[in-house]
Structure 1
Amino acid sequence: MEECMGIRDKRKAETSRKIQAAALDLVEEFGLEATTVARIAQQVGISDRTFFRYFDSKESAIVPGQGELVTALTGLEHAAGATPASIFQALLQVCRDHFSAEIEQHEFRRVTRLMVSVPKLLLIATSREQELVVELSRSLVDRGLVTQMQSLLIAEMVASSWRVAWQCFTQAERSGTSAVPSEFFEQAVKEMVQISSTGLALS
């Protein structure tokens, strides 16, 4: 049974990668507006209905990592009595793991180049990031883990770490510097900790 599940999961992951690759091919060749779910599905050799089993839009197929991250973050279980700090650290670990999976499973360099050449994709990514903040914050509050303010701060810090890491990686790619997104993520977290530990006084 477990072997069957493993095969099924591998096939699902492979189909997901094919859909993303097809979406990227079409955007690179025809542009974002001309790329439709129907064209993506046709290129992969699947039906529109099958496409929507994997992604809810063409944009999520082009940039799948964000949707997967939201699911991973909101689905994380926290121990009873977990502190806001420990919850934040656990969520950051999910981001670390996700970065590794993103590098291994998705064509992140192609996505990064498209973000630069197709500004609308960056706007879409920014919008999905706000969805991450809303959904993660709601998840933490609904489970009674933290207060409303704490949930928003935690969600914003997680999203900021993710965004800053990718922005720095994109800049490095544009300048021709060889870099790995996960390295920027670790640096972003380190800088955030250093800034917050300097004891900035409230005026």
Structure 2
Amino acid sequence: MGVRAERKAATRRDIQAAALDLIEAAGLEATTVAQIAERAGVSERTFFRYYVSKEAAALPGQDELIEALVGRDLARNMSPAQIRDELMDVCRAQFAHELENYEFLQISRLVLREPKILQMVRRQELQLVTELSNSLMERKLLDRMQSLLVAEVIACTWRVAWQCFAHEQDAGADADPAELYERAVADLSEIASPLGR
């Protein structure tokens, strides 16, 4: 990563950290873009170069996850289950990346407390399903129904793992998000296995 890219990444993280701190302290409605920009040490104009709204600044977004899922090289002769498993591996790697790079504890608390943040998460999830299913169809890997089902399973597993983590944290339990993701994958397999017989 070059110096310019590192600087941009640092600015993005600074804006997000400021947004999370302010929204957690005062609430989403009471927090303004101007306050976030000031806290991050940037202008409002710079803020809008990185994020479209204060809600977007509070969430890392799923752009990296979508990019990784859509960019995964998949062979045409793979079964839907093999494609699903390959994409689950992408999610595992992305999950580890998010744990290292984002303030997931703050984000999980905000998702529970702020309905607008939860709405944004749901919009991002819909974007993930749409882009992933379209990619699978365009590459002629799966038909429409299979593409949608695989994309929904990927998005659902991701969301359930994060929701369980947020609830565990809210209850004061010491939870490991990566373990919860693996449990969500295992539970999904157990729940869905009789359907395939």
User: TM-score by structure 1 length?
Assistant: 0.87
CA distance in structure 1 between the partners assigned to 2:4 and 2:80 by the alignment: 37
1:66–1:193 distance in 2 versus 1, CA, 3 Å: same
Instruction: Note the residue ranges of structure 1 that are not aligned, 5 or more in a row.
Output: none
- CA change 1:89–1:6 in 2 (3 A) is farther
Question: Which residue in the other structure is 1:151 paired with?
Answer: 147
> Offset of 1:170 from its aligned partner?
1.2
Q: Which range moves more in the overlay, 153-162 or 70-79? A: 70-79
In structure 1, how many angstroms separate the alpha carbons of the residues matched to 2:119 and 2:195? 34
Q: How many residues matched?
A: 197
In structure 2, the partner of 1:82 is 78
Distance in 1 between the 2:78 and 2:195 partners?
24
Matched position secondary structure for 1:12: helix
Deviation digits for residues 48-87 of structure 1, max 9, x if unmatched? 4433443333222211142322222222222343332222
Paired position in structure 2 for 1:17: 13
Aligned to 2:102: 106
Question: d(CA) in 2 for partners of 1:136 and 1:200?
Answer: 23
Residue 118 of structure 1 and its aligned partner are, at CA, apart by 1.6
What SS is found at the alignment partner of 2:142? coil
Preserved CA contact (<8 Å) 2:65 2:91: yes
Tell me whether 1:130 sits opposite 2:149 in the alignment: no
Work out which of the residue numbers 66, 69, 76 in structure 2 matches 1:70: 66
1:50 has 2:19 as partner: no
- TM-aligned CA distance change 1:50 to 1:73, over 3 Å: farther
Could you tell me which amino acid in structure 1 is paired with residue 74 of structure 2? H
Deviation, structure 1 residue 200: 6.5
Q: Is the 8 A contact 1:60 1:67 kept in 2?
A: no
CA pair 8-149 structure 1, distance change in 2 beyond 3 A: same
TM-aligned CA distance change 1:145 to 1:53, over 3 Å: farther
Q: Which runs of 4+ in 1 moved over 4 A?
A: none
Paired with 2:86 and 2:6, the residues of 1 have a C-alpha distance of: 27
- For 2:173, the equivalent position in structure 1 comes to 177
Tell me the SS of whatever aligns to 1:197.
Answer: helix
Question: Does the residue aligned with 1:158 lie in a helix, a strand or coil?
Answer: helix
Cα separation, 2, equivalents of 1:197 and 1:8: 48
1:164 and 1:188 in contact (8 A); partners too: yes
Residue in 2 that maps onto 1:116: 112
| Equivalent-residue separation in structure 2 for 1:47 and 1:83 (angstroms) | 50
Decide which moves more: 5-14 or 19-28.
5-14
Give how far 1:162 is off: 0.6
Kindly provide the CA deviation profile for residues 82-119 of structure 1, in whole angstroms up to 9, marking residues without a partner as x. 33222211211111111111111111001111122222
Matches of 1:82 and 1:51 in 2, distance apart? 43
Tell me the percent identity: 51
RMSD: 2.0
